[in-house]
């Protein structure tokens, strides 16, 4: 058994089912791709096969990727190599092998800062564990405000009249404009955080950021952090 896998095995066993972000740093398919850890087998781990514009992402053998794992209370990351794809099944998988030990990422990388970004949101659907009888919101854009933001997620303020759009476990597309650049982020509503007299706040976690989006949002976060420090 490889040293990298042996040192990371116990952590990986606890992370099965966790959301991951797979990042290709160069080449034709450079970008960030959301996925999820599905299973472990011998010294390999299988993730939900990442997608590219509605099709399976081409992942040649030995392609190097950076894997970031959301562990709920923190984040882990490691460099992985693509080994093979299992595609002739109902749920395609991409098999990976660790080439570095899984390390815990400092929360500082995901520092959260106050914000007042006006945002348009659109409900996409629900995770499988949302009760079937849940009343789904209408398919239309609605305006919200991002009250705090990080590179891993955000706090969103919604009006009481928008409670119909609030579904824990729901997936949303967010349209933001930062530094005169408009971009989109796919996020999952994690929980309701606070309730106020005429509004409430919810927490969302991103399913992944493209390299360009992370650069823009990271610049905004650094700027807000400096302003908060005075």
Residues 114 and 220 in one domain: yes
Q: What is the CATH number of the domain that holds 165?
A: 2.40.10.220
Name residues whose C-beta falls within 8 Å of residue 70's C-beta, 6 or more positions apart in sequence. Answer: 18, 19, 20, 21, 152, 205
Residue 125 pLDDT exceeds 90: no
Residues 45 and 70 in one domain: yes
pLDDT number for residue 210: 80
Residues 99 and 115 in one domain: no
In the chain, how many domains are there?
2
Structural domain span for residue 114 = 109-229
Find, among 57, 38, 21, the residue nearest to 214 by Cα.
21
Contact yes or no for 141/182 (Cβ under 8 A): no
Cβ count near 179 (within 10 Å): 9
Question: For 189-204, how does the pLDDT look when each residue is reduced to its tens digit (9 = 90+)?
Answer: 888 877 888 899 999 9
Write down which residue in 86, 105, 124 finishes a domain: 105
Global confidence as pTM: 0.54
Residues 150 and 211 in one domain: yes
Residues 43 and 149 in one domain: no
pLDDT number for residue 94: 94
pLDDT number for residue 110: 60
Find, among 27, 28, 29, 110, the residue nearest to 68 by Cα.
110
Residues 165 and 75 in one domain: no
């Amino acid at each position: 058994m490889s040293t990298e896998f042996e040192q990371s095995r116990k952590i990986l066993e606890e992370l099965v089912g966790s959301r991951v972000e797979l990042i290709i740093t160069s080449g034709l398919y450079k970008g960030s791709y959301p996925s999820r850890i599905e299973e472990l087998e011998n010294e390999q781990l299988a993730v939900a096969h990442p997608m590219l514009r509605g099709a399976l992402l081409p992942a040649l053998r030995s392609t190097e990727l950076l894997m970031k794992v959301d562990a709920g209370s923190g984040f882990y990351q490691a460099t992985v190599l693509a080994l093979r794809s299992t595609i002739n099944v109902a749920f395609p998988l991409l098999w990976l092998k660790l080439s570095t030990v899984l390390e815990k990422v400092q929360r500082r990388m995901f520092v959260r800062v106050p914000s007042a970004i006006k945002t348009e949101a659109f409900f996409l659907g629900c995770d499988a564990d949302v009760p079937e009888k849940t009343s789904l919101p209408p398919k239309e854009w609605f305006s919200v405000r991002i009250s705090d933001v990080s590179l891993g997620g955000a706090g969103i303020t919604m009006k009481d009249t928008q409670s119909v759009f609030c579904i824990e476990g729901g997936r949303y597309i967010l349209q933001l404009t930062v530094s005169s650049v408009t971009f989109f982020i796919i996020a999952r509503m994690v929980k309701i955080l606070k309730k106020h007299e005429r509004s409430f706040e919810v927490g969302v976690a991103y399913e992944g950021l493209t390299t360009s989006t992370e650069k823009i949002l990271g610049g905004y976060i650094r700027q807000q952090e400096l302003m908060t420090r005075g």
